[in-house]
Each structure stands twice: as C-alpha cells, then as structure tokens.
C-alpha cells in the first residue's frame, strides 16, 4: 500500500495522507544549522550539535508519537485547525506534504482556506524559514488569526529533559516588536540565544507555555487558541515558548504570505550586551533583514535548488528503470549528505543526545558523499584522524561541537582504524589531492603530537598487525563493525553497557570480519604507498595482506563459508558446529571483497551459502539461526529477540557488501536482485509493512524470525546509505574512480540493457554510454572514438568532456 508518490521532476516525495504508517521525516539544512521535520511539521532544530545547541524542544517516545514541533494554528470564526493536521487533527479538505531537497512543504485546506507551510534552512544562515501562505478559496471574506508556536529547549538537550529542579527557574525571554528572543542562561555563560520573528505586526504574543497552552490542556486545545486571544505573556522561569498572533483579512481569491524566522545567534563575549541588561540583537537583526520579504525567500529557495542541482549533478544516470534512476540521482545521494552531516546523532530514532560522530560511521559515510563536496570530506578526514591515538586505535566517537573524543565510550573497537584508510583512499581517488597525506594531524587532539596523515594511516594498518590473536587473525577488541558481537564483555548485570564492559585486554577473541577488511583495505593502503613512491613499503604491506589471506583460508574457512570469529575461549562463532549463529553475513562480504577464495572457489561458495541461508524476500539477514538464549560469551548480539537488530535482523548496512561481492564473482542477476530488495523506491508498495519512509534506507528490517518480518526501524542515519551508493554507482553501474583514472566496468542483469551516466570528477565530465548483454562479462571501452586497453579511462584535464562508450 502507498501513502504518496514520487515526483521525480521536482525531486520530491509527495505524501497524500497525514496517517502514514510512521512519521515520515525530512532534514533541513546542509551547513551548520539543521532541523528535522516530519510530515506533520513535528521535530526540532539545532545549531551544529544536536545535544549541546538545541533550539527547540522535542519529546521522544511521546503520546501521540510525533507531538510538538513547529505548530501553526488558524482561527477562522469559531473554528480552529492546524494545516499540518496535527496537533488539532480536525479533518482537512485537502492535505499534502512534499519532502524535497532540504525543504518541506505542507499544505492543508479547510473551510475554504488553503494554508501552505514551507520550511527550509537557507544557505549561509543559522535559521529556519517558515513561510506561511494563506489563500481564501471561498466566496466570502475571511478574517483569520494565525498563531505560531515553538517550544524552546534549554540548549543542552540532555539537561533539558532531566534537570528540572534547575530548569524551571532559568527561563528568560525578551520581546522586541515582532521578534521573540529566547535568552535563558545568556546572562551567565552563554553568548548565544534564539530568536523567532515574523515579518508582520502582531495582534499579540506569548512566551510562557502555561499561559499559552493552559496547565491542563494539550497542544490540540491550547487555551489561547481556543479563546482566540493572546495573553502577551513574558516567561519568567518555567517553560519559554515563542508564539505570535497575527491577524489577516483575505478577500475571496486573495493570498498572503508571512515569513517566520527561527534562528540562532552568537555574540563575541565582549559584545554580548547592547546596554546593561539588554541583549545585543545585531546578529539576529542582520539575518532577519536578509530573509523577511517574499522575494528574499524566493531567492533563498532558488539558491537552495541551485545548490542541490550542483551536488546531484556529480553523478547521474538514465536507465529504463525509473526506480533505479530516482535512487541514484536523488534519494540515495540525498541521504548520503544527511548521514555525512549528522552521523548517527539526530533522527526520529536517534535522540541527538547519545552519540556524536562515530569514527567508523563517519569514515563510511564519507564513501557515499565524497563526490558531492570533496572539501568537506577533506576536513572530516582530518577531524577524524585527530581523534586517533598514537598506537593507531581511535576514539569510537567524538562530539561535533568540540571535536574531542568521547571518553565514556573510549576506544578498543578494532575495526575502527581500517575505515580511515578506506576513507582516505576514496578521497584521494576522487580528488587527486595527495597533499592531504602530508597534512600534519595531532593524535588525540594533542597539538604536541602532530604527524603527517600518511603516518596516521600507517599506524591504522599496523594496529591490526600488532593485535593478532592465536590464529594470526585480528583481535576483535570490544567489538568490530558489529557493535553487538562483544566477545570480551561477559556481562551478567543489566546495568552495564555491553560495549564498554569486560575483559578489556582480551588477547584471544579474533574477528574474521576484520581479517577480511584487512585483505580488502590493505591493498588500498599499498596503492596509496605506491602512489607516493614508497614501493618497498607497499610490497611489505601486500605481503602482510597475503599472510592474512592465508590465515583466513587456514583458520577462517568453515567448509562452506567463512567463519565469523573465535570467541574468548577460542571457540568458533559462525560455524556449522554452532547450534545457533552458524553463518554470518559480514565475513562473507568482506573476505570476498578482499579477494579471498576468488580464484579457488570459496568466494562463490560463501556467497551461495548467503543466498541459501540468509536471504529473505526483504533482504539478507545478519546471521542464522538466530540466538534464542543469551550467550554470555557473545554479548549484546544474543540479547535481542530473534529477528531484531544484530540478532538475525536484516541489517541493511551489510547487504551492499554482498551486492559488491556478487559483482566481483560476476553474478549481476543476484547483485541486482539484492539491490532491489533493499532500495526504498522499490518498496513503496509495501509501505504498510515496511512502515518507514519509502525514499530512504532504514538501518534494520525485522528478519524472518521476527513476528513483524519486513518491518523497518531506524530510518535515515545509517551506513546503509553510503554503502548502497557505493554498490550501485561503483559496482553495478560500475563507474569507479581509481588513482589512475575512472574505471567503467558495469555489472548489471539483462533487464538493464543500456544506460547513460554522467560523472563529474577532478574537474572533467565523463559521458558514459553503456550497452549491456547481462552476462556480467568484460567491458570493452571506446574513449572519444578510440578503443581503450582495459577499463580505466585516464584522467582528463579539468574542463574536458570525455565520451566513453562501453559494451559489456
Ligand atoms: C538543590 C540541591 C541541594 C542544595 C540546594 C540549595 O536543591 O539539590 O543539594 O542544598 O539546591 O542550593
Ligand atoms: C550501528 C552503528 C554502527 C555499527 C552497526 C552494526 O549502525 O552505528 O557503528 O557498525 O550498528 O552493529
């Protein structure tokens, strides 16, 4: 069942009923200021850091599930309603929500009035624009009163929801004409405040929540709206809100727009005050002056569109499959940008409090994003590398505002270091900026310990080799990519976190996944070294990779597939000898991507086992059989009920590894079948089962053992976005930057007999035209009319347009 449809020309998903199976959200902002906005206008916004600089309050796990956000109430005679349907939920004559690239437009109509709410964060400003357009579609004159409402957060989102003995005393506001300022804590340590402005004179305002809503009322019946009269309340303590009341009179057919601006402003410490006791409002006024007329807002929308035109034009495809095209051209890169910006911090599943930027997550997010804005990828690489330790390990997470590693979580996730190499390899191939390798980067942000980035990568590589276990396979540490495989944890009390508890120096538990990663990412390290003319070191690195490959084949092969690990006691994990958890997906994907068993048959055999034992109609499960009881020696993985999350859920992130692996063994039908099972555009008709947005990937889909097989959770912020983009763009469509040039080597089934693609890279444009027989065979290339040896088109000079014809 569908709840809307794609509008490909506008690059929008159009939701046609407010009763979607779950709140379907979008993101505003792509620089420093972000908002999440649901199809009911729920959500919140923040400046840079969802935990430490949150402007508006949002209650997770509320009843109803999506309560509060940016609310606009309309009073029309005795009637009052909300154009985004919630929270008043009066029946609408018309409802539509269009989620687009960095903006959301919600339209509701009732009683002859049509109201459109447009939300966006303009480029170059830390603010949300809310443009409210009202149109009288009836035959009589309308006298309307519009009330806005946002609830301010006391900046630190964790404190805001926990420290009430303090919070109910600190609230302060200033009201200045049509601008409401939230200035709690500004008197003391904060130099920032929030403002909420409208470009119209006010009939009144409210800044105290209780005065506006009423102590025993809900947001669906705030007393001010029910009575129609603002109270001009000034918050002193308790809960500050921002609410404007604006009167409008509309003749039949007449339309009017109001521009609201909800923003963040910061002053230098010596310019905090206009005069004693009066906040310096200059930075807010400057932004207000830039965005308060209709033409200014139109220009901001146009600029945002142009921005996205630019970003999305770096890679485009045209094929006979419109779902493939809309994923590759619009929604997958869009999600990649969002995950790059937010890592795993703020979504409708991530509270914005718990986790900052993940080391492994952000390095992987970069893979799907680097072609869009390489300079931002560069900065991210340097930030990440600065949270590395001298021994090559890394803080698992860091806070975006401070860029400091998070001590609570610490380090010891032994896959982390390798992801940095992969990210830098992708960045240098994309840009040709090898100077980054010479950048001086500190360890653990300690400026006294700077070393070239190349040295950081070397330590990443060495970190694996200096932490090998009894079988010559890498030690797992607290966990590898699978956060829930905690082989050194042994947690018996419910109050301990799995990831940070346990025998920290376990020197026995080994990960075949990290071993596979080493065989796939080690050669990337060697290629970087060769490129820097360090051939001897490159040869040594490759030798280490070959040793690892031998160790995998000797100790990591289970007969029909690759083992997953050895536990603390040296027992096998992911083996047919196990009663539960006999086969895991991760080591199959990574070992094949590393080329292990490619020439000798194990690679295909492992992938056949995946198809036979892990594949379902909704995607590939993480392992089978699911753990039915808690395994002390395995940790969190066995804590989930069967079919959920890492315990045999369809953990979407790992699926593209298998797609890539299938292309490497030359099986396009299987690779593409896996792709289609997961890509949200193909799931639109299953929305009532899948439940999350049909335009973005979700982290997890319930596996076969779950009662609600096929139901997704954790939409948006997942490495699934980046990896699917890598899989589809670089391996299925087969267009992949290498150090020497652009590789064109598609692997698609016969159902995609041809396609054209445009790829911008290193300043040149490559126009690729592919004819495909579907056998997954070799690509024969003609470049600007001349036959090419091999499948790597040499880099052209910036500005050049290169025509590549490809026959598979
Ligand atoms: C808070 C504290 C308490 C302290 C009191 C006065 O109630 O919980 O410990 O004595 O404030 O500052
Ligand atoms: C979550 C984490 C990611 C981890 C994955 C598998 O998505 O963000 O770091 O790799 O779970 O456990």
For ligand 1, the distance from its centroid to the CA atom of residue 171, given in whole angstroms, is 19
For ligand 2, mutation pick of 481, 634, 638, 701 (most atoms within 8 Å of CB): 481
**DSSP bridge partners of 236:** 172
Which atom of ligand 2 sits closest to the CA of residue 646? Answer: 12
pLDDT digits (tens, 9 = 90+) for 38-54: 999 999 999 999 999 99
For ligand 2, the distance from its centroid to the CA atom of residue 505, given in whole angstroms, is 22
Cα distance between residue 285 and residue 278, in whole Å: 14
Q: Nearest ligand, CA of residue 164?
A: 1
pLDDT of residue 399: 81
Cα distance between residue 190 and residue 197, in whole Å: 21
Question: pLDDT band for position 159 (50/70/90)?
Answer: very high
Which has the closest alpha carbon to 653: 492, 513, 448?
513
Q: Show the tokens assigned to 40.
A: 């009911």
pLDDT of residue 691: 98
Per DSSP, the residues of 196-215 read: EEESS--SEEEEEHHHHH-T
For ligand 1, the distance from its centroid to the CA atom of residue 169, given in whole angstroms, is 13
| Predicted model pTM | 0.97
**506: pLDDT strictly greater than 80:** no
Cα distance between residue 691 and residue 689, in whole Å: 5
Residues acting as catalytic residues: 483
pLDDT digits (tens, 9 = 90+) for 479-493: 999 999 999 999 999
Atom 11 (ligand 2) nearest CA: 483
Query: Considering the chain, what is the average pLDDT of its residues?
Result: 97
CB of residue 361 inside a 6 A radius of ligand 2:
yes
**511: pLDDT strictly greater than 60:** yes
Sequence-separated (6 or more) residues with CB below 8 Å from residue 446: none
Cα distance between residue 448 and residue 443, in whole Å: 9
pLDDT of residue 775: 77
| Strands 619-620 and 801-807, bridge-based pairing | unpaired
Distance from first CA to last CA of the chain, Å, rounded?
37
**649: pLDDT strictly greater than 60:** yes
pLDDT of residue 407: 85
Residue with tokens 């002193």: 236
pLDDT of residue 18: 98
Q: Which helix (H) or strand (E) holds 135?
A: strand 127-136
**566: pLDDT strictly greater than 90:** yes
CB of residue 649 inside a 6 A radius of ligand 2:
no
Per DSSP, the residues of 573-620 read: ESSTTSSS--EEHHHHHHHHHTTTTTTTSHHHHHHHHHHHHTEETTEE
Q: Which of 148-157, 217-226, 407-416, 716-725 has the lowest mean pLDDT?
A: 407-416
Question: pLDDT band for position 505 (50/70/90)?
Answer: low
Question: pLDDT band for position 499 (50/70/90)?
Answer: confident
Q: Nearest ligand, CA of residue 163?
A: 1
Helix and strand counts by DSSP (H, E) for the chain: 20, 44
For ligand 2, mutation pick of 347, 356, 357, 361 (most atoms within 8 Å of CB): 361
Q: Show the tokens assigned to 89.
A: 């939920």
pLDDT of residue 48: 94
For ligand 1, the distance from its centroid to the CA atom of residue 163, given in whole angstroms, is 12
Report whether 284 contacts 263 (CB < 8 A): yes
Question: pLDDT band for position 504 (50/70/90)?
Answer: low
Which has the closest alpha carbon to 51: 390, 372, 397, 363?
397
Question: pLDDT band for position 7 (50/70/90)?
Answer: very high
Question: pLDDT band for position 503 (50/70/90)?
Answer: low
Share of the chain above pLDDT 70, in %: 100
Report whether 47 contacts 359 (CB < 8 A): no
Which has the closest alpha carbon to 433: 512, 365, 360, 379?
379
pLDDT digits (tens, 9 = 90+) for 533-547: 999 999 999 999 999
Q: What is the mean pLDDT of residues 776-787?
A: 93
Report whether 224 contacts 147 (CB < 8 A): yes
Which atom of ligand 2 sits closest to the CA of residue 482? Answer: 12
CB of residue 499 inside a 6 A radius of ligand 2:
no
Q: Nearest ligand, CA of residue 165?
A: 1
């Amino acid at each position: 069942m569908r709840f809307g449809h794609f509008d490909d020309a506008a690059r929008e998903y159009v939701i046609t009923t407010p009763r979607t199976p779950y709140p379907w959200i979008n993101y505003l902002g792509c620089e420093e200021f972000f908002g999440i906005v649901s199809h009911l206008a729920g959500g919140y916004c923040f400046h840079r850091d969802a935990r430490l600089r949150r402007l508006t309050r949002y209650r997770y796990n509320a009843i109803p599930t999506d309560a509060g956000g940016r609310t606009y109430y309309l009073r029309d005679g005795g009637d009052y309603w909300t154009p985004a349907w919630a929270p008043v939920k009066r029946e609408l004559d018309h409802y539509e929500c269009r989620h687009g690239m960095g903006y959301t437009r919600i339209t509701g109509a009732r009683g002859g009035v049509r109201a459109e709410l447009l939300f966006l964060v303009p480029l170059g400003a830390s603010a949300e624009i809310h443009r409210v357009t009202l149109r009288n579609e009836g035959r009589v004159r309308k006298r309307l009163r519009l009330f806005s409402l946002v609830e301010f957060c006391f900046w630190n989102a964790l404190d805001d929801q926990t420290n009430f003995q303090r919070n109910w005393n600190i609230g302060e506001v200033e009201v200045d004409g049509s601008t409401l300022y939230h200035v709690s804590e500004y008197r003391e340590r904060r130099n920032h405040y929030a403002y909420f402005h409208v470009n119209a004179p006010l009939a009144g305002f409210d800044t105290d929540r209780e005065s506006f809503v009423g102590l025993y009322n809900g947001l669906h019946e705030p007393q001010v709206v029910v009575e129609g009269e603002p109270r001009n309340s000034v918050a002193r303590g308790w809960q500050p809100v921002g609410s404007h009341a604006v009167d409008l009179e509309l003749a039949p057919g007449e339309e009017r727009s109001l521009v609201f601006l909800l923003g963040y402003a910061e002053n230098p410490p010596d310019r905090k005050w206009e005069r004693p006791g009066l906040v310096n409002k200059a930075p807010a006024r400057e932004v207000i002056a830039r965005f308060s007329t209709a033409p200014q807002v139109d220009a901001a929308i146009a600029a945002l569109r142009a921005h996205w035109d630019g970003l999305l034009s770096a890679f485009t495809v045209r094929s006979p499959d419109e779902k493939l095209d809309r994923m590759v051209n619009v929604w997958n890169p869009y999600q990649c940008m969002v995950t790059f910006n937010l890592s795993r911090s703020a979504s409708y599943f991530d509270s914005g409090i718990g986790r900052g930027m993940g080391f492994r997550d952000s390095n992987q997010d970069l893979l799907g994003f680097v072609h869009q804005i390489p300079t931002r990828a560069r900065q991210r690489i340097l930030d990440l590398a600065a949270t590395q330790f001298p021994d090559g390990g890394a803080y698992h997470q860091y806070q975006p505002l401070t860029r400091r590693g998070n001590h609570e979580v610490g380090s010891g996730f032994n896959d982390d270091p390798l992801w940095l190499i992969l990210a830098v390899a992708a960045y240098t191939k994309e840009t040709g900026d090898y100077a980054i390798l010479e950048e001086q980067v500190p360890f653990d942000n300690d400026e006294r310990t700077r070393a070239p980035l190349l040295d950081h990568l070397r330590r990443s590589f060495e970190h694996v080799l200096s932490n090998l276990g009894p079988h010559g396979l890498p030690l797992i540490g607290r966990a590898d990519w699978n956060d829930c495989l905690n082989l050194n944890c042994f947690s018996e009390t419910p109050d301990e976190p799995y990831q940070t508890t346990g025998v920290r120096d376990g020197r026995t538990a080994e990960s075949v996944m990290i071993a596979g990663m080493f065989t796939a990412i080690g050669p990337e390290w060697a290629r970087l070294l060769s490129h820097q003319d360090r051939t001897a070191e490159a040869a040594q690195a490759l030798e280490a990779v070959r040793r690892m490959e031998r160790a995998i084949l000797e100790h990591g092969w289970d007969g029909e597939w690759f083992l997953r690990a050895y536990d603390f006691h040296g027992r096998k994990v992911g083996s047919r000898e196990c009663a539960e958890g006999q086969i895991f997906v991760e080591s199959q994907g990574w070992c094949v991507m590393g080329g292990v068993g490619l020439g000798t048959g194990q690679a295909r055999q492992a992938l056949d086992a995946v198809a036979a034992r892990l594949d379902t109609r909704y995607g590939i499960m993480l392992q089978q059989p699911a753990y039915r009881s808690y395994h002390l020696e395995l940790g969190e993985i066995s804590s989930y009920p069967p079919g959920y999350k890492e315990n045999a859920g369809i953990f979407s992130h790992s699926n593209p590894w298998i797609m890539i692996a299938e292309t490497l063994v030359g099986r396009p039908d299987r690779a593409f079948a896996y792709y289609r099972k997961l890509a949200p555009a193909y799931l639109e008709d299953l929305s009532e089962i899948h439940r999350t947005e049909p335009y973005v990937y979700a982290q997890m889909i319930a596996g076969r053992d779950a009662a609600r097989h096929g139901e997704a959770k954790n939409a948006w912020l997942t490495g699934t976005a980046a990896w699917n983009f890598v899989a589809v763009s670089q391996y299925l469509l087969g267009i992949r930057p290498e150090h020497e040039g652009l590789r064109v080597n598609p692997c698609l089934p016969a159902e995609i007999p041809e396609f054209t693609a445009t790829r911008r890279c290193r300043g040149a444009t490559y126009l690729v035209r592919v004819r495909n027989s579907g056998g997954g065979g070799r690509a024969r290339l003609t470049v600007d009319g001349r036959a090419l040896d091999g499948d790597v088109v040499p880099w052209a000079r910036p500005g050049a347009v290169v025509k590549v014809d490809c026959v598979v």
